[in-house]
Amino acid sequence: MTNTGGEYLINEAYRPIADRLKEKFEELEHVPVDSILFIDRQEKKQKHANKIVCAQVSKIPTRFQDIIYQLTGQNFTFMIEVFKANTSYMTRAQIVALLYHEMRHIQLVVTDDGADIKIVGHDIEDWTQMIEKLGANWNAAKRQIPDLLDDAIVDWDSIEGPPTLFSEMNLRRVK
- How many domains are contained in the chain? 1
Query: pLDDT tens digits for 54-103?
Result: 999 999 999 999 999 999 999 999 999 999 989 999 999 999 999 999 99
Domain around 121: 8-163
Q: Tell me if 77 sits within 8 A of 61, measured CB to CB.
A: no
pTM: 0.85
Kindly report the number of other CB atoms within 10 A of residue 88's CB atom.
8
- Identify whether 170 is part of a domain: no
- Identify whether 119 is part of a domain: yes
- Identify whether 168 is part of a domain: no
- Identify whether 173 is part of a domain: no
- Identify whether 3 is part of a domain: no
- Identify whether 171 is part of a domain: no
What is the mean predicted confidence (pLDDT) over 98-116?
90
111-117 long-range contacts (CB < 8 A, ≥24 apart) are 117/30, 117/31, 117/32, 117/77
- Strand arrangement of the beta sheet that strand 78-83 belongs to: 8-10, 36-41, 78-83, 55-59
- Identify whether 102 is part of a domain: yes
